[in-house]
Structure 1
Amino acid sequence: MTEMLLTFRPVIAILISMIAAGAILVAGERVSPNIRESITMAAAILKAICVFSMIPAALVGNTFDITLFEIVEGVGLSFRVDSLGMVFACVASGLWILTSIYSIGYMRGHDERNQTGYFSAFAMSLSSAIGICFSANLLTFFIFYEMLTAATYPLVVHYRDEKGKRSGRKYLLYTLTSGQLFFAAIVYVYMKCGTLDFTAGGFITGMTRGEASWVFFLMILGGVVKAGVMPLHSWLPAAMVAPTPVSALLHAVAVVKAGAFCVIRVICYTFGPDLCQTCGTTNVLAWFAVATILLSSLIAIQKDNLKARLAFSTVGQLSYIVLGVCILTPISVSGAIYHIVAHALMKITLFMCAGAIFVTEHKADVSQMRGIGRRMPLTMTAFAAASLGIAGMPFMVGFVSKAGILQGAAQAGQPLFIATLVASALLSLTYLIPVVYMAFSNRNVNSDFCDDTYGLEGEASKPLLCPLLITAFFSVLLGICPDLGMHLMTFAQQAAAAIFEGGGL
């Protein structure tokens, strides 16, 4: 019995938060909020323990292959743990604990309604994300990918007002349309290849260059929409009408990371480096990523609303992952995979800071934040650290991932990609560091912040403050020791090595 439970850990990890979602719904508003929050925290901790317990086995190549039942001939509801999946799973499950703590503090501090639906949908989103991580084939991946869309929709429309409903409709239009095109491509691949199993280096054979290009286009749409690649990005800034913990979930833990993860699975585990180079499809996608990186940064500079500024920052930062994968060198791909970790830590810190400021001081715009660092020094110090990481400064986790992508661009002989990454770093400093400067500035300080001493009396409550300090701390720690703890750098390097050994490059 014990051995079976150990073997089925990937499935158990998925079911934990699914069961929690059902329990929260059944409990409803009839029970004390303490019970609902206890279920949330217990599920988060159990899921993380389950995922983290697989790290030693995954490091030595144990794949935990599981097929629950056959869906169509030769294709089952199947799960497999590999190095790439472990990177995303460790990030999602680890950050879910912190996001759950933050959500409890935010919901209580902001006196939010619809908390039962919120926490239930939140749990289902993480269940879907872990299912995406451990899917062994395209069909299983698609099922959980669409489940993620369905689970996050109630979070986007949480306030049930007209603005939220409009944003929700846009979200569904973009994600469901691209999802159906993705499914059509999956069906075609099955008809041509007779299998849908992910293989490092790709498994697609028997297609002409034209066929492969069109299938790639249909399939990659499913990834780039959720990853916010321009011009298919507008749902993401619109979704900022949701509560800040939802923004953190969308931008750091689940949806956009699932989109970037999808791009990696399609390019590296479905088509493979050889076929992508033959078709030239990744070259086209790389230039879309370059345009997205630059344009999103320029738009972010113009946004006064802090969450909107951070949303456009996410649009650009996710395209780092897309660009790194499209460069198609082992070091750029490992850098792109590690950027899943780096961006998650840095961006969730920034959104948590924005939420803490909003709940505590009721300020949402950058122009309102002059002197706020004097009341909330810890929050704004964490914001400053994450901002430097987003720009790729040394000793920050963002430097590690971006250095890999830069090295890959140099190896591939792509000076324009290098110039784009350098320009993006400078633009990131332009739209984030002024926020920090204003926060700690003495000039024209509002009377609310007129005292000359720094203190902690204005900081947010501990459930809001502690998670953002922890993520900021790890943004620095992993910048100094990238492989510390969960060996995520090793997993990224193992995944890249397997891809290019399988792809023959």
Structure 2
Amino acid sequence: MIALNAIEWLPTFELQLSPILAIAVPLIGAFLIAAAGRWPNLRESVTIITAVALLWVVGNLNNFLEATPSKAEALVDVVPGMSLAFHLEPLGMIYAMIASSLWILNSIYSIGYMRGNKEKHQTRFYVCFALSIASVMGIAFSANMFTLFVFYEALSLVTFPLVTHKGTPEALKAGRTYLGILMGTSVCLMLPAMVATYVYTGTLDFTQGGVFAQPLADGALSPALFGLIFAMYMYGVGKAALMPSHRWLPAAMVAPTPVSALLHAVAVVKAGVFSICKISIYIIGVDQLRLYDQGGWLLYVAGGTIVIASFIALFQDNLKRRLAYSTISQLSYITLGAALLWPISMRAAAIHIAAHAFGKITLFFAAGSIYTAAHKTNISELDGIGRKMPWTMAAFTIGTLSMIGLPPTGGFISKWYLMQGAWTAESGFAIAVLLTSTLLNAAYFLPIVYRAFFRKPPEHDGHEGDHHHDHHDHHDHGEAPLPIVIALTCTAAATVGLFFYPDLFTGYASMLAEAMPK
């Protein structure tokens, strides 16, 4: 109870400032990074200090959330009943905790990767990265749909220079696909759905139990139109990569690996599934979805996406492309959890956001490590690489176990809850999808691990990357630069840690589930 007493005498402005402070820290950091651009060591120090400061702010917000119910804090009123406003709630807290903690590790990793590969435009890279994290904080702490939309669009725009970082025709084409699909879906589907919500309910505020109960009861909104609005929201969130609006995700693989890690583990795709959970619970309302039987089609679309993407992943030889299709599949686990409409499945969805983040970032870090040290991008070239890069491939193996859902990794916890959710909802389809996709995950991940550790390296393979890095004295073992190895070891450790200490995320997920209708 000490924490509670401490909060009573804190000045109220500190509580009001807090979510806004989480957005301000990376924004200020972006300016400072740009100013320090000429001095690489200073620039990267500023990046890491900013990331640590953000984690400190989010950690303190976490204490506030446990102690006091959060009221929305409006920053700017746009029109009556619609403002740029922020508040704290369990789902947003999970997202903010993941993003702020992984930003630190991603920054350490980026230093090793960007320098190891002598990438150009490094200052722009770090600035856009900080701006992306600021957008994520805005999404995580948004108090209404309007705020979420503003930061959701901002995230698409500030990640565009990261996707097109290399500036090659291929990168620019991928950037056009990326921005086209993400902005197209949000402007053509999510925005009209928001307008309809505002017209029928007079509010876009995130409300316990959703905002649609009244208009449906009055007969002002037909169940068919309600279903259409729900569908427009679900497909308006292009970042959730539900098929067929998933193509931007493999396209964005041309970006440097730290960007892939940001897109696939931390910021962009999580913004998608976070928005799907948030809209289902606080805008549409789980009760209304159950009443008008609207979760059904989403369940089938998510299930289809899980299985089809896993199947496509089987046939990808490029490591990052295989990981990209794996992400499309894993994201739909979260959508599936939301579509089952049970508190336990929502809890599973919330936990899987965390489990997937730590596991997938580990896999991408390992892919970048292989590229940096050995200049290999295809799975068929990885025979025996585990002997030269034991740390990298051990971390990769842990990430793999988490994706399949095996103990002792975080992925097991979320799969377990998902299975319970499917069982509770008596959905044979969901159970079949989970079992099938688990087998497919094993089929496209385990051969990589087998290849790395149990096959002989090819005779002629002199580890071509070595002459590239002769100025690194720790390259005699063939591992990537030290910052890369440190980062991927930490994320792998966190993936295992999540299995033994899931309380941080399960606690929030339970708070979320308790607020839902049983």
TM bin (shorter chain): over 0.9
Rounded to whole Å, the distance in 2 between the matches of 1:445 and 1:62 is 61
- Taking structure 1 as the reference length, the TM-score comes to 0.94
Aligned equivalent of 2:19: 10
Amino acid at match of 1:322: T
Amino acid at match of 2:201: C
Amino acid at match of 2:441: S
- C-alpha spacing 1:140/1:394, structure 2 compared with 1 (3 Å): same
What is the aligned counterpart of 2:208 among 196, 200, 206? 200
Rounded to whole Å, the distance in 2 between the matches of 1:132 and 1:115 is 26
Aligned equivalent of 1:497: 514
Could you tell me whether the CA contact under 8 Å between 1:380 and 1:436 is conserved in 2?
yes
Rounded to whole Å, the distance in 2 between the matches of 1:462 and 1:54 is 33
- CA deviation profile, 1:64-113 (whole Å, cap 9, x unmatched): 53111211102211100001110000000000000011111110100000
Rounded to whole Å, the distance in 1 between the matches of 2:165 and 2:292 is 43
The equivalences for 1:200-219 within 5 A come to 200-204=208-212, 205-206=214-215, 207-219=221-233
The equivalences for 1:309-458 within 5 A come to 309-443=322-456, 445-448=458-461, 457-458=477-478
Could you tell me whether the CA contact under 8 Å between 1:375 and 1:456 is conserved in 2?
no
Q: SS where residue 408 of structure 2 aligns? A: coil
Aligned residue-pair number? 491
Structure 2 residue 111 is the aligned partner of structure 1 residue 104: yes
Rounded to whole Å, the distance in 2 between the matches of 1:352 and 1:155 is 16
Instruction: Report percent identity of matched pairs.
Output: 43
What is the aligned counterpart of 2:181 among 174, 190, 207? 174
Aligned equivalent of 2:50: 43
Amino acid at match of 2:129: F
Q: How much does 1:194 deviate?
A: 1.1
Could you tell me whether the CA contact under 8 Å between 1:174 and 1:235 is conserved in 2?
yes
What is the aligned counterpart of 1:256 among 269, 276, 285? 269
Amino acid at match of 2:510: Q
Q: SS where residue 394 of structure 1 aligns? A: coil
Structure 2 residue 306 is the aligned partner of structure 1 residue 306: no
Deviates more, 1:427-436 or 1:35-44: 35-44
Q: How much does 1:122 deviate?
A: 0.6
Rounded to whole Å, the distance in 1 between the matches of 2:81 and 2:71 is 19
Rounded to whole Å, the distance in 1 between the matches of 2:385 and 2:374 is 9
Amino acid at match of 1:253: V
RMSD over equivalenced CA pairs, Å: 1.6
- C-alpha spacing 1:446/1:300, structure 2 compared with 1 (3 Å): farther
Q: SS where residue 515 of structure 2 aligns? A: helix
Rounded to whole Å, the distance in 2 between the matches of 1:221 and 1:429 is 29
Rounded to whole Å, the distance in 2 between the matches of 1:152 and 1:222 is 18
Could you tell me whether the CA contact under 8 Å between 2:240 and 2:272 is conserved in 1?
yes
Q: How much does 1:62 deviate?
A: 3.1
Could you tell me whether the CA contact under 8 Å between 1:209 and 1:278 is conserved in 2?
no
What is the aligned counterpart of 2:101 among 94, 98, 106? 94
Amino acid at match of 1:493: S
Rounded to whole Å, the distance in 1 between the matches of 2:110 and 2:379 is 23
Deviates more, 1:436-445 or 1:15-24: 436-445
Could you tell me whether the CA contact under 8 Å between 2:85 and 2:144 is conserved in 1?
yes
Could you tell me whether the CA contact under 8 Å between 1:10 and 1:64 is conserved in 2?
no
